[in-house]
Amino acid sequence: MPHTAKNINLEIEKQEILRRYKCLLRAAHKSKTAKDKQLIRKAFDIALNAHKDMRRKTGEPYIYHPIAVAHIAAEEIGLGTTSIVCALLHDTVEDTDITLHDIERMFGKKVAKIIDGLTKISEVVDQSASIQAENFRKILLTLADDVRVILIKLADRLHNMRTLESMHRNKQLKIASETIYLYAPLAHRLGLYTIKSELEDLSLKYTDPEVYEEITQKLKKTQSVRTRFINSFMAPIQRALDQHHFKYEIKGRPKSIFSIYNKMKSKNVPFEEVYDVFAIRIVLDSPSELEKSDCWRAYSLVTDFYQPNPDRLRDWISTPKGNGYESLHTTVMSPTGKWVEVQIRSKRMDEIAEKGFAAHWKYKEGSEENRFDAWLNKIRDILENPESDALDFIDDFKLNLFADEIFIFTPKGDLKNLPKGSTALDFAFDIHTQVGYHCIGAKVNNKLIPLSEPLKSGDQVEIITTKKQKPKEDWLNYVITSKAKVAIKNALNEEKKKIALEGKEIIQRKFEHLKWPFTNTNHTIIAKYYSLKDPLDLFYRVAINKIEASHFGHLFTLEKNKLIPTSQIVSKTTSQANPENYVDLKSRKDETLVIGETMDTFEYKLSPCCNPIPGDEVFGFITISDGIKIHKTNCPNAVQLMSNYAYRIVKARWTNQESIAFLAGIKVTGIDKVGIVNEITQIISSELNVNMRSISFDSIDGIFEGKIMVFVHDTNHLIQLCSKLKIVDGVIHVTRFDSN
């Protein structure tokens, strides 16, 4: 450790640890009895002693971390004594001499089981050598046992994100990408909206620091204007609520930085044009039997003063979201011509929305099965299939985590929740796997519709089946739910396995003819040669005549019972240097990019999905067949690559070089007037000596949009060009776009 006792005041640290522990006890609202406090103290003492010689990257005592995780679990998620004890001890089994057996002896089976789950998660998540998606599946398997494992893991991840400052840049990018890709959607689905928003904001802080800083500063600058606007907007509503004797609280808070960033990106507008940067929330203190009627009465008062947008009314009180979220959302027009989102909910609904349904769910005495249980059961259904591809699984699962919901009725009037965009085929599989397998058609509101047609909320759906029907390959294009995709893939795989047996026999006869050993290793070598994922794929392709087994004798040679592709014998030096068949990395003279830990120069390609240019913050990704590809760190695909393939990410940065020009796209919009195109092209070609590859302008109803492809040296050169164009009279926006 770099820190010594000389430069650390141990007495001050001791006092600080005690202060943090007392804060934790104050946050532990549910741990009121003497027995609860005794258990927490016992766990704290054990953790303190176990971690006494350990320090975090910041140099602080390690015990600060478990205390902080326990504090988040208690204060921000609302968990009780068992969870606080587990949070305090969550790293002891993995990092110290304490065993699971010790934990069970001191705290019982329940605590030991939760800590075992947390330890397993750490083991899989922190190994960057394995694909993150596979890890996430393992994490979810622990959720099937006790959801507190996931809740404590989210608290752990939140504290790590809050203290990410001290990590190296490449580690920050990996952890932030993993957070936005896996943990934020999971927090969202568990109803932990506050934690989900903070995880998203902190991820953006590290994946795109400039944008994060820009939005943060603009929110600070506009705070006083926002406060004045909210006060004047709410004044008449407050008077009306008082007259009707409501007990209420009003909260006016800005949207999260990440959601503002998403709006700016999806609508391609600057911060100033994101109209709903804040929402106003009216929280009513109503008894449970009057909650629903009071919310609608309050809605009526709001719309007495302000015109609502009928397309933006969301009633999650009559039909709560699958994670228990209940609220009434409306968007109304303010006197200044701005749309304002107003959320109306009761105190109970607000607490569930802030802290998550999970915290109020299973640990109350005698609580019954509810929507949350139903959601967990769906996860268990998906997890029951161990053969599905991990990356497909995580993509499907993420889609289902983030999706808005629609409500569909069965012919008997039962209500089913499905993600928005679900089809009749999704609905069939949601009823039962066998219903899905044999589905040949569907009636929606008594009319026959194609199986691929998306359903709408309120539809009544009847599924038509026949025993002769079997799942088809193109069904995968008709469904969006994980349950349906997994079931269809399973059925197709079973069919594929039957066909593959024929291919296996063909290969076996060929191997016998060539006197080659018929081993799994040799099957894998041939499969890899054809870029197939496993021998089963090879057997299948041979059976359907996509691969000719008769060619094997020319393509492979046997050495010590192991097949070697003949192409590798020709260039053996390449294969030794590069056993994974990634790419032969040669240096080149006109290099402008340095790559890897030692920052050597290698062969690379610029990725067309984000079109990086010198000056952009970039990273390298080792592809299987196309060498190293360079992406911007804020590339749309970066999060997925860093989350799933962290072990194939290499550092990369630009070096100074002005002799090479890079292609970049600029989009210009503004008011169409005579001579404006000429003025724009003059600036580009004459003033800054920039070469244009292509230019196109469209004009509709007095507004023009131009797309110009230019050759620039680096980001600064591009920024300079954009700044010049912005001052042209009539130009409203100048933005960079990816030129793919």
Q: Is residue 202 scored above 90 in pLDDT? A: yes
Q: Is residue 284 scored above 80 in pLDDT? A: yes
DSSP assigned state of 357: G
Q: 333, 307 in Cβ contact below 8 A?
A: yes
pLDDT at 366: 35
Residue 674, helix vs strand vs coil: coil
pLDDT at 407: 77
Alpha carbon 693 to its chain centroid, in Å, reads 37
Q: 633, 607 in Cβ contact below 8 A?
A: no
Give φ, ψ of 374 to 5 degrees.
-60, -40
pLDDT digits (tens, 9 = 90+) for 165-183: 888 888 888 888 888 877 8
Instruction: Report the phi/psi class of residue 96: left, alpha or beta, with left for phi > 0 and alpha for psi in -120 to 50.
Output: beta
Q: What angle do CA 333, 339, 341 make, to 5 degrees?
A: 100
Alpha carbon 565 to its chain centroid, in Å, reads 40
- The architecture in CATH of the region 371-489 reads Roll (3.10)
Q: How confident is the model at residue 285 (pLDDT cuts 50, 70, 90)?
A: very high
Give φ, ψ of 707 to 5 degrees.
-120, 125
Comparison of pLDDT for 658 and 208, the residue scoring more: 208
pLDDT at 622: 79
Residues 6+ away with beta carbon under 8 Å from 266: none
pLDDT digits (tens, 9 = 90+) for 50-83: 888 888 877 888 889 999 999 998 888 878 888 8
Q: Of residues 95, 373, 672, 738, which has the active-site annotation?
A: 95
Domain boundary assignment for the chain: 10-166, 216-360, 371-489, 662-737
Please name which of 371, 324, 317 lies closest in space to residue 343, comparing C-alpha atoms: 317
Residue 449, helix vs strand vs coil: strand
C-alpha separations of 34 from 40, 73, 228, 329, 600 in Å: 10, 20, 48, 43, 62
Q: Which CATH number fits domain 216-360: 3.30.460.10, 3.40.30.10, 3.40.50.300, 3.40.50.2000?
A: 3.30.460.10
Residue 107, helix vs strand vs coil: helix
Comparison of pLDDT for 373 and 572, the residue scoring more: 373
Between CA 87 and CA 69 the distance in angstroms is: 6
Q: Is residue 616 scored above 90 in pLDDT? A: no
Comparison of pLDDT for 394 and 94, the residue scoring more: 94
Asked whether the CA dihedral 287, 290, 296, 300 is positive or negative, the reply is negative
pLDDT digits (tens, 9 = 90+) for 360-411: 543 343 333 455 555 556 555 555 554 455 555 555 555 555 556 777 888 8
53 an active-site residue?
Answer: no
Residue with tokens 């081993």, as numbered in its chain: 519
Domain 662-737 in this protein, CATH class: alpha beta
Asked whether the CA dihedral 166, 169, 175, 179 is positive or negative, the reply is positive
CATH topology of domain 10-166: Hypothetical protein af1432 (1.10.3210)
Q: Of residues 94, 116, 392, 495, which has the active-site annotation?
A: 94
Q: Is residue 589 scored above 70 in pLDDT? A: no
DSSP assigned state of 557: E
pLDDT at 131: 45
Between CA 321 and CA 317 the distance in angstroms is: 9
Helices (H), 51-146: 64-71, 81-89, 92-95, 100-107, 109-125, 132-143
Between CA 459 and CA 393 the distance in angstroms is: 28
pLDDT digits (tens, 9 = 90+) for 208-243: 999 899 999 988 888 888 888 888 899 999 999 999
pLDDT digits (tens, 9 = 90+) for 491-542: 888 888 888 888 888 888 988 888 888 888 888 888 887 777 788 888 888 8
Q: Which two tokens stand for residue 168?
A: 């190296």
Q: 139, 180 in Cβ contact below 8 A?
A: no
Residues 6+ away with beta carbon under 8 Å from 210: none
Q: What is the DSSP string of 135-203?
A: HHHHHHHHHTT-HHHHHHHHHHHHHHHHTGGGS-HHHHHHHHHHIIIIIHHHHHHTT-HHHHHHHHHHH
Other CB atoms within a 10 A radius of the CB of residue 101 amount to 10
Between CA 152 and CA 72 the distance in angstroms is: 9
Helices (H), 403-546: 424-431, 433-437, 482-514, 520-529, 535-543
94 an active-site residue?
Answer: yes
Please name which of 526, 535, 655, 649 lies closest in space to residue 591, comparing C-alpha atoms: 655
pLDDT at 426: 92
Tell me the pLDDT of the chain averaged across its residues.
79
Alpha carbon 538 to its chain centroid, in Å, reads 33
